[in-house]
């Protein structure tokens, strides 16, 4: 049975009002030791759509579940055909002003670490070094049989060779790198096995219906325990994967501040929510703090 991810969250009427004043965020950052929790909203300005925002992909697209992927060769063919096409665009995405500002905050000692729910590697590409990829990264592929791993760029070359001329027109690109294709468009796609053992290859990401590795969760919890504040960027916090860290911080009395244009499931735990577009807001914050988020260096080799 296919598990459908949480599609929406209805804000209660008594949520605290949002603000457009960036000073509360500047105050927290000036103190240093802030941990960032980022979601899909920070990458939309890089051309990667989000799940639940205006026009979000979940209104038209249900991501593949882990159970479906491992249980059906047909499902794996559909996934890899759509993902292979999507990777041609997804893999070329570059950091935007928001990513670069976060990297600048870290470089100047204001941010102690980044927990990202995204699988796009853009924080690292912008220069952030202390990044926990909560849901993994599309830039890596693993074999479910022998555990071998390889770069996504290497798999892309193998898939290109096995599917020469594969160039259907996709209806849209999704946050997980999946391109919208019909069953007819993927019917002739050839999936390649692990080159080491012939087993099933899977992107090194946490699918819906799959648990985040416990050691990774504990790493994130440790970061939140040591944080002076938790700054949430571009996440609706609809699912427990990210919300649990907001709840953890609030229960410990650690300040929580959210920058997100729409109401989030974590608003009730936050000191405030700043309702502004992320790129402009974070660039302005960098300016307030005497930093230049636009000049953060790109980490060499951080994009495949």
Active-site positions?
A: 135
Evaluate the CA torsion angle 180, 263, 250, 31 in order and state its sign: positive
Q: What is d(CA 147, CA 194) in angstroms, rounded to the nearest whole number?
A: 10
Quote the CA–CA distance of 5 and 111 in Å, as a whole number: 31
Number of C-beta neighbours around residue 180 at 10 A: 16
Q: Are 177 and 87 spatial neighbours (Cβ–Cβ below 8 Å)? A: yes
CB 85 within 8 A of CB 166: yes
Backbone angle region of 24, left / alpha / beta, with phi > 0 → left and psi within -120 to 50 → alpha = alpha
Closest CA to 179 of 43, 39, 78, 73: 78
């Amino acid at each position: 049975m296919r598990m459908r991810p949480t599609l929406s969250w209805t804000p209660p009427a008594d949520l605290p009002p949002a603000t457009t004043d960036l000073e509360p965020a500047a105050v927290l950052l000036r103190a240093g030791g802030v941990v960032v929790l980022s979601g899909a909203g920070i990458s939309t300005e890089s051309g990667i759509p989000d799940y639940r925002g205006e026009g979000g992909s979940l209104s038209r697209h249900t991501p593949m579940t882990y159970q479906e992927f491992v249980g059906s060769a047909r499902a794996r063919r559909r996934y890899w055909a759509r993902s292979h096409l999507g990777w041609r665009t997804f893999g070329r995405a570059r950091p935007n002003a928001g990513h670069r500002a976060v990297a600048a905050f870290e470089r100047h000692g204001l941010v102690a670490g980044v927990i990202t729910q995204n699988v796009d590697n853009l924080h690292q590409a912008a220069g952030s070094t202390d990044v926990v990829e909560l849901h993994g990264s599309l830039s890596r592929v693993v074999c479910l049989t022998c555990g071998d791993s390889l770069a996504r760029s290497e798999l892309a070359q193998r898939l290109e060779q096995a599917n020469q001329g594969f160039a259907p027109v996709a209806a849209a690109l999704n946050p997980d790198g999946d391109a919208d294709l019909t069953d007819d468009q993927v019917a002739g796609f050839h999936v390649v096995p692990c080159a080491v053992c012939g087993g099933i290859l899977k992107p090194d990401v946490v699918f819906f219906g799959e648990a985040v590795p416990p050691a990774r969760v504990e790493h994130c919890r440790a970061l939140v325990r040591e944080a002076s504040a938790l700054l949430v960027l571009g996440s609706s916090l609809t699912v427990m994967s990210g919300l649990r860290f907001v709840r953890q911080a609030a229960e410990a009395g650690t300040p929580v501040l959210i920058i997100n244009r729409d109401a989030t499931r974590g608003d009730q735990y936050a000191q405030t929510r700043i309702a502004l577009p992320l790129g402009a807001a974070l660039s302005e914050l960098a300016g307030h703090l005497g930093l230049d988020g636009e000049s953060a260096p790109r980490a060499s080799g951080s994009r495949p």
